[in-house]
Amino acid sequence: MTPDSLKWLFDGLGAAVLVAICGFLWRRLSKKTPRADGRTSSATVQGSHNNAVALTFANGASVGAPVIIGSTITHNETHVAVQPEQAPIRKVSFPTPLEIQHAVDQTPPFQQDERRRHFIGQKVQWPVHFYSVDPARGGGYDASFYFRENYDSEMVACWVDVDEYPMLKIIKRGHVVWIRGEISQVGRGYISVRGAVLEFE
């Protein structure tokens, strides 16, 4: 074998070794850094208001903002429902002043005071008819009402601040007012309500 042929052999061997090393390094780098091959998968999650939200992924990773499928909006938003302020529901509570009066009247006289104490602490909501408002001892005013328009029933009385309820200064006798509160006393011919809240018709 001539010197020229040996030189050609070793030059070819070196080139082959170099190519093998480059191929090995390329495979190692390819495993560490996977490339996107254009394949996509989709997932659907549930958004607020029961709207389906579609997200597109490539190789398991998110690739941008959600898309629109048909008429479904793909963004996921959280909405807080704000309920409008509603007026209190006006519903007559029981027993009414008439029923309390009847229950006491049907009780033997010796037991009537105990029967009256039975109603203390009960929550009430009644439509009553305005009768009068007078200065109270210690400040404020005592407002009195009747359940019946002809005043043929137990009087319903409560302490009020006329600055809080200026309507009391101008309404006429018989004006319908809703009273809410808690029975504090049942006397002979009257019912006292504490923590009274008034609403005017």
* 46 part of a folded domain: yes
Question: 185 and 111: one domain?
Answer: yes
Question: 110 and 187: one domain?
Answer: yes
Question: 196 and 103: one domain?
Answer: yes
Question: 46 and 103: one domain?
Answer: no
Q: Which domain holds residue 63?
A: 38-78
Which residue in 167, 150, 157, 164 sits closest to 134, CA to CA? 157
pLDDT at site 109 = 96
pLDDT band at 30; cut points 50, 70, 90:
low
Question: 196 and 101: one domain?
Answer: yes
Question: 64 and 123: one domain?
Answer: no
Separation CA 162–CA 98 (nearest Å):
27
Whether the Cβ atoms of residue 194 and residue 146 lie closer than 8 Å to each other: no
Least confident of 35-39, 167-171, 182-186, 191-195: 35-39
pTM for this model (two decimals): 0.56
pLDDT at site 152 = 81
Separation CA 20–CA 37 (nearest Å):
26
**How many structural domains compose the chain?**
2
Question: 122 and 163: one domain?
Answer: yes
Whether the Cβ atoms of residue 76 and residue 53 lie closer than 8 Å to each other: yes
Residue pLDDT, tens place only, 84-125: 455 567 899 999 999 999 999 999 999 999 999 999 999 999
pLDDT band at 12; cut points 50, 70, 90:
low
198 to 144, 168, 172: CA distances (angstroms): 12, 10, 15
| CATH at residue 125 | 2.40.50.140
What average pLDDT does the segment 155-170 reach? 97
